Amino acid sequence: MAATIQSLGAPSSFSTANSIESKKFHGKKVGFVVVRSDLRLKCGSMPGRCRTGNLVTQAVASPAAPTASSKTGHEVLLFEALREGLDEEMERDANVCVMGEDVGHYGGSYKVTKGLAPKYGDLRVLDTPIAENSFTGMAIGAAMTGLRPVIEGMNMGFLLLAFNQISNNCGMLHYTSGGQFKIPVVIRGPGGVGRQLGAEHSQRLESYFQSIPGIQMVACSTPYNAKGLMKAAIRSENPVILFEHVLLYNLKETIPDEEYVLSLEEAEMVRPGEHITILTYSRMRYHVMQAAKTLVNKGYDPEVIDIRSLKPFDLHMIGNSIKKTHRVLIVEECMRTGGIGASLTAAINENFHDYLDAPVVCLSSQDVPTPYAGTLEEWTVVQPAQIVTAVEHLCR
């Protein structure tokens, strides 16, 4: 088939420019609720606020146009979409291989690689010892010889053990070798705040890796973009880190039957609007869309963008939105200090300061280790009620 390249709740508090504070268990079964990503909300007409009185009656945007226009499709969970993308690329290119802990006949901690070992053999789906620094370094060396390894971290927090290999080797070898070597490596795995996984298993490593030169970073949020980004990352000549949220694996959506590949450098317009630009990614996309329902009922018309590309930012789409709405709210699960939101705030102020009618506001997780207690865990992460309050403040 021809490939189609697609362009594509807690108490309220806020602060400007800087942010608002706000392994799989072995032996435990972690339950998930299946949520559809194409929910819609119909709202009655209400007086507009801020710059325009027009009210968009659809609080949650329909899926991206390529999905909606597809004549045929099939329903998958997000982890199944990741597997589809990986399977298709392994079938397409014999140089693609997978390595990590339990990725073989066990099928991976969250079953992303289930069924691949019997199909492609133990050398292309390689079970490794519990030694992240070793197998990450091995994968980088394999990439230097022409292979396209996909490294699975059983939990993204464990990849801190391989930080030297990822930073000094993966990100820099193309430059330090004078262009003699390319490092087409994909590093992927579950991360983010789960449900009582504890501090060490609730890491958000995008803030750690964003400063490494030579590495691209993307975050999937739906089955559709999970598959498309997986395929694009594998085909890229650059090292790519693909962030998957542990609570989104059982998200369900209908994706096209035909092959598609997404851009690694483009954001996704989730919901067009006029009053304020809300930039988000990963799990927070759904907190934002939950807040959007309330905001629409209150008469606001937020524009929601899933930035998707964490490095580099899609400043073209972001900038066009800011020039229209003149207000920006960033919502992230990353930490307040040195997070993606901080970098995005700096980029917006440097490039679009003259278009802003209010300071950039960023809602982030609190700078504390994620508590194990469920109620405390919820308090550390941005909730929809905080998003509603921030929008109301910005649009006064």
Active site residues: 132, 201
Which class for 92: exposed (0-12), middle (13-18), buried (19 or more C-beta within 10 A)?
A: middle
Of 255, 88, 116, 108, nearest to 190 (Cα)? 108
What is the maximal distance between C-alpha atoms in the chain? 62
Q: What share of the chain is helix, strand, coil (3-state, %, to 5)?
A: 35, 20, 45
CB 127 within 8 A of CB 166: no
Helix axes 340-352, 315-325, angle to 10 degrees: 60
Quote the CA–CA distance of 301 and 295 in Å, as a whole number: 7
CB 180 within 8 A of CB 126: no
CB 50 within 8 A of CB 81: no
How long is the chain? 396
Strand 216-219 versus strand 309-311 pairing type: antiparallel
C-alpha gyration radius of the chain: 20
Quote the CA–CA distance of 288 and 61 in Å, as a whole number: 12
Sign of CA dihedral 125, 126, 132, 137: negative
Quote the CA–CA distance of 62 and 224 in Å, as a whole number: 12
Look up residue 259 and give its two tokens. 């092959």
Strand 125-127 versus strand 240-245 pairing type: unpaired
Quote the CA–CA distance of 293 and 287 in Å, as a whole number: 10
CB 320 within 8 A of CB 271: no
CB 10 within 8 A of CB 386: yes
